[in-house]
Copies of this chain bind each other. A is one copy, B any other.
């Protein structure tokens, strides 16, 4: 499984070790961190929810595509689900390759595709007491605001 979902903290040291290769000269990793502002709202915590069966399949396809498109040694992506706090790591992508150019390109490809294609959703909770499903509330026909309490 080169795409994994986990409900506990992502163990990047162990994930990185899976990418070690005597023939690899370059290693690029990406981490998505929970940040305190999004679109002008102060975020205090997040929840990630996944359609797990399909997320695992689609994520695996993305990593397989990266391995086909770029001459890589190894690639791996791990996405966290559940409740996260500020600065927690939501997603990790790691890629190793002979030369660095393709490791950068492939790492970016994987995170871009994961964000667009994998059925995972993020609910932000704001300092104001509001909360919202990212990409769903603003584009919905009748935006909903969930008041605290």
Contact = CB atoms under 8 A, between A and B. Distances in A.
Contacts of A96: 33
A29 to B, nearest CB: 5
A24 interface: yes
Contacts of A13: 13
A24 B20 contact: no
Interface of A: 13, 20-37, 86-87, 96, 98, 100, 103-104, 107-108, 111
Contacts of A26: 30-33
A20 B80 CA distance: 18
Given A33-B26, A87-B20, A104 B108 contact: yes
A134 to B, nearest CB: 12
9 tightest A-B CB contacts, nearest first:
A25-B35, A27-B31, A22-B36, A29-B29, A104-B108, A28-B30, A23-B35, A24-B33, A22-B86
Nearest to A90: B25
A119 to B, nearest CB: 20
A90 to B, nearest CB: 9
Contacts of A30: 26-28, 100, 103-104
Nearest to A98: B35
